[in-house]
């Protein structure tokens, strides 16, 4: 056990902004927009919203309940409520956090680099060439290491002075920037086709398991679920918070940000006539198509582009700190390390782990699939089963701080039946896909 007393959030708003900061990130802007483009637009958005409400929300409440109830990081919290057999699940959470951060930081490094492009040189006309030149290689590795250093600095400053303060300052800024950009996109001639693509649903497209798989994995990735980030943040809460309402606020804000990001990306892309390019480039949608558009917009494009990438950097940073915090809090609780030692050792190890992803796009893609489509989904499934079937009195624990909510029974039933069933189907479709991506690396 650590000799330092356990930290606490300074205020309810501080916790909420930190949790929303964890949820809102590259997932809402980069991953959401390329998956929406890949899966046919509005139909995907509807399915993703359904997954967020039906499957994401119950799991988030489960993570909050376990984290606050135990007041410990994932491994100790699961052992607290379930005994030693659940230790491996906690360890899987920590491993997922480390793995996700290792490549997440590489993409975050790109956003830093593009932000700097906007300031220093403007966006060049050869957007695809620029992306190829900077995305992978020694330069990308250096930016990845720089971003990791920033993350290490914030987490090293502690829960209240580091994580909470950073989120309180940066999250409102991110909201304002995105809304401003959405209004700007709305004023562009030709944006109407973008709204149509994004918002007019063709429901025939919803009925495919492949789209379901992407929608579910996107919901969990975007809500930071299935690897203990929300659990760990909740472990710094007091007993007076109303967890069901906090879950709704966090999940609702996360969806809202993704939705508004779509209101920026799609109208702009259609206004600039770049829709074909988006369909062709998937993962590169944000990093090739938009800079291409910004370059054509001239001086205004530099300003708009700067704010756009600044928002991405903010989102990435507040998410990355939650990923690192899971590993750090575990090292503090399990090994009795000080925060400084834990941050340095974990941060440097994860930075090194990310080097292969910074050098090779296939590695990054495979690690993204493995962690997002398999580890997070499996983690969330196991957590739902744990809370629904094995944890003693989850309803009682979740209702502390509320006035007794009647639908706790519904929550428990979702965790027992609906969430495991949906996630088992998702895993069934995700595993072969991921296996192919991994096997290709070793060929
Ligand atoms: N939710 C973050 C995003 O949308 C990513 C993340 C995943 C953060 C898992 C923490 C845990 O970018």
Atom 6 of ligand 1: nearest residue by CA position: 224
Atom 7 of ligand 1: nearest residue by CA position: 224
Structure tokens at 325: 């915090």
From CA 341, how far away is CA 424, in angstroms rounded? 38
From CA 171, how far away is CA 11, in angstroms rounded? 15
Query: How high is the pLDDT of residue 1?
Result: 47
Helix (H, G, I), strand (E, B) or coil at 240: coil
Judge if the beta carbon of residue 219 lies within 6 A of ligand 1.
Answer: no
pTM: 0.95
Q: What is the DSSP string of 382-437?
A: HHHHIIIIISS-HHHHHHTTSS--TTHHHHHHIIIIIHHHHHHHHHHHHHHHHHHH
Q: What is the pLDDT along the chain (443 residues), one digit of tens a residue?
A: 445 678 999 999 999 999 999 999 999 998 898 888 888 788 899 999 999 999 999 999 999 999 999 999 999 999 999 999 999 999 999 999 999 999 999 999 999 999 999 999 889 888 888 988 899 999 999 999 999 999 999 999 999 999 999 999 999 999 999 999 999 999 998 899 999 989 887 766 666 788 888 899 899 999 999 999 999 999 999 999 999 999 999 999 999 999 999 999 999 888 888 877 766 656 667 888 888 888 888 889 999 999 999 999 999 999 999 999 999 999 999 999 999 999 999 999 999 999 999 999 999 989 998 998 899 999 999 999 999 999 999 999 999 999 877 789 999 999 999 999 999 999 998 898 899 989 988 87
Judge if the beta carbon of residue 42 lies within 6 A of ligand 1.
Answer: no
Describe the crossing of helices 209-222 and 42-51 by its angle, rounded to 10 degrees: 60
Q: Please state the atom number of ligand 1 nearest to the C-alpha of residue 26.
A: 12
Judge if the beta carbon of residue 227 lies within 6 A of ligand 1.
Answer: yes
**Quick check: 281 and 289 in contact, CB under 8 A?**
yes
Query: How high is the pLDDT of residue 205?
Result: 62
> 27 C-alpha vs ligand 1 centroid, how far in Å?
6
Judge if the beta carbon of residue 415 lies within 6 A of ligand 1.
Answer: no
Structure tokens at 366: 């495979």
From CA 324, how far away is CA 310, in angstroms rounded? 21
> 126 C-alpha vs ligand 1 centroid, how far in Å?
31
Judge if the beta carbon of residue 52 lies within 6 A of ligand 1.
Answer: no
> 316 C-alpha vs ligand 1 centroid, how far in Å?
8
Atom 10 of ligand 1: nearest residue by CA position: 224
Query: How high is the pLDDT of residue 2?
Result: 46
Task: Classify residue 442 as exposed, middle or buried by CB count within 10 Å of its CB (0-12, 13-18, 19+).
Answer: exposed
Structure tokens at 50: 């359904």
From CA 278, how far away is CA 265, in angstroms rounded? 10
Helix (H, G, I), strand (E, B) or coil at 79: helix
Query: How high is the pLDDT of residue 278?
Result: 67
From CA 146, how far away is CA 435, in angstroms rounded? 31
**Quick check: 259 and 28 in contact, CB under 8 A?**
no
- 220: Cα separation from own chain's centroid: 8
Structure tokens at 111: 């956003």
């Amino acid at each position: 056990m650590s000799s330092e007393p356990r930290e606490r959030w300074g205020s309810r708003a501080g916790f909420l902004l930190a949790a929303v900061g964890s949820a809102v990130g590259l997932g809402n802007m980069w991953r959401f927009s390329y998956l929406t483009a890949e899966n046919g637009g509005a139909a995907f958005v509807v399915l993703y919203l359904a997954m967020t409400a039906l499957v994401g929300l119950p799991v988030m409440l489960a993570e909050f309940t376990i984290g606050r109830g135990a007041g410990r990081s994932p491994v100790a919290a699961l052992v607290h409520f379930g005994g030693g057999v659940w230790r491996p699940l906690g360890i899987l959470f920590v491993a997922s956090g480390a793995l996700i951060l290792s490549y997440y930081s590489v993409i975050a490094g790109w956003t830093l680099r593009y932000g700097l492009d906007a300031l220093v040189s403007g966006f060049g006309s050869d957007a695809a060439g620029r992306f190829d030149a900077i995305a992978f290689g020694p330069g990308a590795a250096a930016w990845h290491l720089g971003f990791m250093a920033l993350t290490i600095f914030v987490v090293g400053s502690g829960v209240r002075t580091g994580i909470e303060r950073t989120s309180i300052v940066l999250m409102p800024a991110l909201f304002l920037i995105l809304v401003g950009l959405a209004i700007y996109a709305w004023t562009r001639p030709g944006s109407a086709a973008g709204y149509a693509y994004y918002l007019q649903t063709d429901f025939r497209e919803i009925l495919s398991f492949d789209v379901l798989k992407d929608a579910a994995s996107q919901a969990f990735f975007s809500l930071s679920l299935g690897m203990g980030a929300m659990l760990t943040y909740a472990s710094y809460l007091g007993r007076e918070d109303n967890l069901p309402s906090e879950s709704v606020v966090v999940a609702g804000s996360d969806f809202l940000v993704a939705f508004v990001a779509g209101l920026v990306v799609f109208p702009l892309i259609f206004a600039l006539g770049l829709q074909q390019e988006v369909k062709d480039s998937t993962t590169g949608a944000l990093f090739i198509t938009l800079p291409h558009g910004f370059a054509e917009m001239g001086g205004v494009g530099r300003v708009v582009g700067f704010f756009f990438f600044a928002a991405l950097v903010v989102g990435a940073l507040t998410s990355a700190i939650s990923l690192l915090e899971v590993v750090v809090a575990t090292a503090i609780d399990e090994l009795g390390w000080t925060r400084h030692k834990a941050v340095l050792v974990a941060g440097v190890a994860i930075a090194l782990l990310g080097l292969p992803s910074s050098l090779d796009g296939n590695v990054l893609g495979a690690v993204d699939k493995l962690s997002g489509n398999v580890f997070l989904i499996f983690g969330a499934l196991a957590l739902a089963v744990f809370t629904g079937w094995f944890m003693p009195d989850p309803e009682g624990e979740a209702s502390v701080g509320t006035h007794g909510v009647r639908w706790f029974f519904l929550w428990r039933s979702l965790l027992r039946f609906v969430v495991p069933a949906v996630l088992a189907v998702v895993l069934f479709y995700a595993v072969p896909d991921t296996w192919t991506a991994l096997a290709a690396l070793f060929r």
